[in-house]
Amino acid sequence: MTQHNLKSVRAVLLDMDGVVYVGNDPLPGVQPLLDYLEATGRSWLFVTNNSSRTPAQFIEKISKMGIRAGEDHILSSALATASWLKEEYPDGARLFVVGEEGLRWALERQGFTLIEDYTQAEIVVSGIDFHARYERLADATLAIHAGARYVATNSDASFPSERGEIPGTGAIIALLQTATGVTPTIIGKPNAGMYEQAMHKLDSTAATTLMVGDRYETDIEGAIKLGMPTAAVLTGITPLEQFEREPLRPAFILPGLPELLAAFQAADA
């Protein structure tokens, strides 16, 4: 994909952690890029594997960074997982959840019953859980052993923070999978379902939707396999050397969002 081809992009999906911010520290160039996309008639959506926050909490966080967005601009792996489960279980189900408020909110919003008695669980759902205790992980393990289906929001092994990379949802999956021998159904990126939900929301197609991310295995590779153009930024997890040596390379490898804005402006000139 060249700068000229970038002109044909009509929708942009942006990861959040490592692209928009790291922990509570904003990254440069977010609002100017969003303003330009809107001024040129392009739609955009934040698409994040972070399942910890509700849409309102995401908006509250980024508003403190001077970023303007509405709740309809958020698609988290929690929302995607809840939507997927609603399709699978339209009449509801009893869920035992390892996760933060964002996941619980999304599941309850879709009409699921969240229970604390693991012996009654039909499904175990795990996401990022910054307060996970051994006893809860043990209960989840016992529920899966007893036959509960295991579903996870995403498989990111690590989570970018101001201190550096800390354990992510994939680390929790690794613990539960090791303890149970059961591989979960994973909903978030790089699985096709989350990208497809995002494009449906924006009424866009793969060929005209740009995915912007910092992590090759989740943000970039999955999008490329769907035929989407991609822009990798070096503000998060994956280093330049890995992006360059992957067989499926992103169309753009950029220091950050200011350079992506410049690329759009050059393509539109």
Domain CATH for 239: 3.40.50.1000
CA–CA dist 222, 40 (Å, integer): 27
Which residue is catalytic, options 15, 139, 156, 219? 15
Q: Is residue 72 part of a domain?
A: no
Looking at the fold, whether 110 and 173 belong to one and the same domain comes out as yes
Q: Does residue 82 sit in the same domain as residue 182?
A: yes
Residues 236, 264: one domain?
yes
> Is residue 49 a contact partner of residue 158, using CB atoms and an 8 Å limit?
no
Alpha-carbon span 135 to 119, nearest angstrom: 14
Select which of 17, 129, 214, 219 is catalytic. Answer: 17
Assess if residue 155 is contained within a domain.
yes
Q: Where would I find the H helices in 152-191?
A: 169-180
In a domain, 197, yes or no: yes
Any domain includes 62 = no
Is residue 268 annotated as a catalytic residue, yes or no?
no
Tokens of 1: 């994909």
Establish if 60 belongs to a structural domain: no
Residues 169 and 251 in one domain: no
pLDDT tens, residue by residue, 54-102: 999 999 999 999 999 999 999 999 999 999 999 999 999 999 999 999 9
Query: What's the structural domain count of the chain?
Result: 2
pLDDT for residue 260: 98
The overall average pLDDT reported for the chain is: 95
Cα separation of the two ends of the chain: 17
Residue 162's pLDDT band, with cuts at 50, 70 and 90, is confident
Judge if 135 and 106 occupy the same domain. yes
Boundary of a domain, candidates 186, 203, 223: 186
Give the list of residues 6+ apart from residue 7 with CB closer than 8 angstroms, or none. 267, 268
Active site residue 214: no
Q: Is 91 inside a domain boundary?
A: yes
pLDDT higher than threshold 70 for residue 1: no
DSSP at 160: E
CB 87 within 8 A of CB 110: no
pLDDT-derived band of residue 219, with 50, 70 and 90 as boundaries?
A: very high
Task: For residue 61, give the DSSP letter.
Answer: H
Q: Are 175 and 96 part of one and the same domain?
A: yes
Domain-located, residue 193 = yes
Range of the domain at 220: 3-49+189-268
Q: Region 20-25: what's the mean pLDDT? A: 93
- 38 and 91 both lie in a single domain: no
